[in-house]
Amino acid sequence: MTDASPTAAVLIIGDEILSGRTQDTNLNTIARFLAALGIDLKEARTVGDETAQIVGALNALRATHDYVFTTGGIGPTHDDITADAVAQAFGVALPEHPDALAILEKRYAPGEFNAARRRMARVPEGGTLIANPVTDAPGFQIGNVFVMAGVPKIMTAMLEDVAPRLRKGVVVHAATIRVSGVGEGTVADILTAAAKADRELSFGSYPFGHGSVGEIGTNLVVRGRDQARLKAAVEALVGELKAAGISASRSSP
């Protein structure tokens, strides 16, 4: 893989993920979003609603990746402390952003726009808004950090406004070879040889049918930025597998 593509990290914020109450899906949504833009997602962290934890993780991630995407903790209640933590991480104040204030004042009827909801207008100094077409209350960008909602529907919608701000990389293409009738241990040597033959590509093996009486096998996933090399490697790998008497066929895309 070329070093020219940007790297990214994700920071999932919320006690509800760590308590097991909620199954996170935002990481997968962001991962697929970044893959389509050719941006390499290198790591993700999940922390609870604790300022010190958020600040520590954010400062570690933003120093080592081109982009950081956070989800969660930007609502109106007392446990929504992400904006405070981000401001602390950057060492800046957290004033009300006039545009955010205007958006929220417009959304709520007089009397409904209380102090709690007004908290959602606070943006770390120097930040710009991220549009929320679902419930209006915006996210924000500061430096290389994009702060988004935790509700998957809102987070996904916010990515639309984030995409144009990102430097794109070269997209990584993937091809899957379905191997059936044998476990991954049977194809491991052939796969290792293929991985050694082209180190610009990545080769993964994802077995299925574990321990059951039904069909067993493994999906071999080859990934790389150069489509010609990818195609050549996949054809060579399928050829090697068939030559060894193993049932293998390219199943996608």
Per-residue binding string, a second copy, 176-215, x by CB under 8 A, is: -------xxxxxxx-xx--x------xxxxxx--xx----
- Angle among Cα 167, 171, 176 to the nearest 5 degrees reads 155
Subset of 60-79 contacting a second copy (CB under 8 A): 75-79
Distance CA 221, CA 224 (A): 10
Question: What minimum distance in Å lies between the beta carbon of 172 and a second copy?
Answer: 7
Does 6 sit near a second copy (CB under 8 A)? Answer: no
Closest CA to 72 of 26, 132, 7: 26
Cβ proximity to a second copy: between 3 and 112 the closer is 112
- Whether the CB-CB separation of 179 and 247 falls below 8 Å is answered with yes
Q: Which residue from 1, 6, 35, 226 is in contact with a second copy, where contact means CB under 8 A?
A: 35
Closest CA to 75 of 142, 130, 120, 22: 120
Cβ proximity to a second copy: between 206 and 242 the closer is 206
Does 48 sit near a second copy (CB under 8 A)? Answer: yes
Size of the site for a second copy (CB under 8 A): 68
Does 28 sit near a second copy (CB under 8 A)? Answer: yes
Q: Which residue from 1, 66, 129, 135 is in contact with a second copy, where contact means CB under 8 A?
A: 135
The interface region with a second copy, picked from 90-98, 110-118, 121-129, 236-244 by CB under 8 A, is 110-118
Closest CA to 240 of 206, 196, 208: 196
The interface region with a second copy, picked from 18-26, 91-99, 122-130, 232-240 by CB under 8 A, is 18-26
Distance CA 105, CA 97 (A): 12
- Judged by the rule CB under 8 A, the positions of this chain that interact with a second copy are 15-25, 27-28, 31-35, 41-49, 53, 57, 75-79, 108, 112, 114-117, 120, 134-135, 151, 153-154, 172, 174, 183-189, 191-192, 195, 202-207, 210-211, 221, 223
